[in-house]
Amino acid sequence: MELDSMVWLGLAVPLAVCALGCVGRADSGTPSPPDAAGGWRAVGEPERFDAETIFTYIDGHAEVYLAYGMRSCTSRRYEGPDGQPAIVVDVFEMASPDDAFGVFTVDLDGEDAAVGHDGRYRYGWLSFWKGTYFVSITAEDETEDARDAVFSLGHSIAAMIDVDSPRPAIVGGLPAAGLERASVRFLRSEVILRTHLYLGEQDVAGLGPDTEAALARYHRDGLSAHLLIVRYPDERRAKAAEREFAARFLQGEMALKVVQDSVGRWYGIRREGQLAAMVLGAGSEAMASDLLAETTRGGAG
């Protein structure tokens, strides 16, 4: 079962709120937002937060960013012409390009926007990632002029980030057939996994800061499934995760690769070395088996 939409909203809102404040070529090298965009003018100097002080800026939800190794956040607010909404820019420096992509994938609602990498825009909020940075720009209300200013700020900041990085390699291991592209997430944390796919409070895959995981939803022949690929730091950790998964979903039998639960959904795991593919809640045995075979056969980085 997926996380209730209202619970998910509680996680997504802080991302938009934080977008109301950060950017610039700061002392740490973080891109700094311009002083103005269109009729919008910056109010004061940028504010900067680190892994400890971020809680004063994003009360109660900073853990989302910390789960992706946030190093800093630079925030700046802009006031517009009379009657126009304020705009806030936030630039987060993450631990790696993979983590920047990961925090970007926490909320993929909206439409494509040709800004930075994989830019998305929805009602006053523009977000994208590039290099080790996740950028969030939010207008407090939607107007045509505010939208233009938001995009102008986005293009300016993206141009300051002169490092291009590919998506995490493990994401490339997701089978293409039936993939819902807007569902693709990169993560390292069980807490983040539960925000996208809730299977109870017990850990599902043994995730941690030293793991890499890609999660996606599939639709084939009217049926759906989630696929989770995890690369562990060593084979010992991968085997331990395989045993835990089997105990929870496969009746404790390592030899049973695909098992149906009491409500008719199918679960399965297949491990090759440090890499494990896990199917969660597939609509049929064949779908579960096919996804496992396709993932491990194609590899993931």
Based on the fold, state whether residues 153 and 178 are members of the same structural domain.
no
Q: Are residues 125 and 174 in the same domain?
A: no
- Identify the domain boundary among 160, 178, 212: 160
Quick one: 73 and 52 in the same domain? yes
What tokens does 16 get? 């938009």
Give the phi and the psi of residue 223 in degrees, each rounded to 5. Answer: -115, 160
Nearest to 151 by CA among 173, 106, 175, 119: 119
Q: Check which CATH number belongs to the domain holding 129 and give it.
A: 3.40.1000
Per residue, the 3-state secondary structure of 92-135, as one string, reads: EECCCHHHHHHHHCCCCCCEECCCCEEEEEECCEEEEEECCEEE
- Based on the domain organization, do 203 and 59 belong to the same domain? no
Shared domain for 199 and 94, answered yes or no, is no
Does residue 174 sit in the same domain as residue 155?
A: no
Give the up-direction half-sphere exposure of residue 249: CA atoms within 13 A in the CB hemisphere: 27
Residues 137 and 192 in one domain: no
Task: Give pTM, 2 decimals.
Answer: 0.86
Last residue of a domain, one of 110, 127, 160: 160
Task: Looking at the structure, tell me whether residues 11 and 139 fall in a common domain.
Answer: yes
137 and 178 housed in the same domain:
no
Tokens linked to 79: 């006031």
pLDDT at residue 7, rounded to an integer:
30
Tokens found for residue 235: 């084979």
Residues 25, 154: one domain? yes
Residues 22 and 154 in one domain: yes
Q: What is the pLDDT of residues 34-46, one digit of tens each?
A: 899 989 999 989 9
- Counting as low any pLDDT under 70, the low residues of the chain are 1-29, 60, 255-256, 296-301
How many angstroms separate the first and last alpha carbons of the chain?
29
In a shared domain, residues 9 and 153: yes
Chain mean pLDDT for the chain: 87
Q: Give residue 255's pLDDT.
A: 65
Instruction: Name the residue range of residue 87's domain.
Output: 5-160
115, two tokens: 């800004």
**Which DSSP category does 179 fall into?**
B
Q: Which of 128, 160, 192 is the last residue of a domain?
A: 160
Count of structural domains, the chain: 2
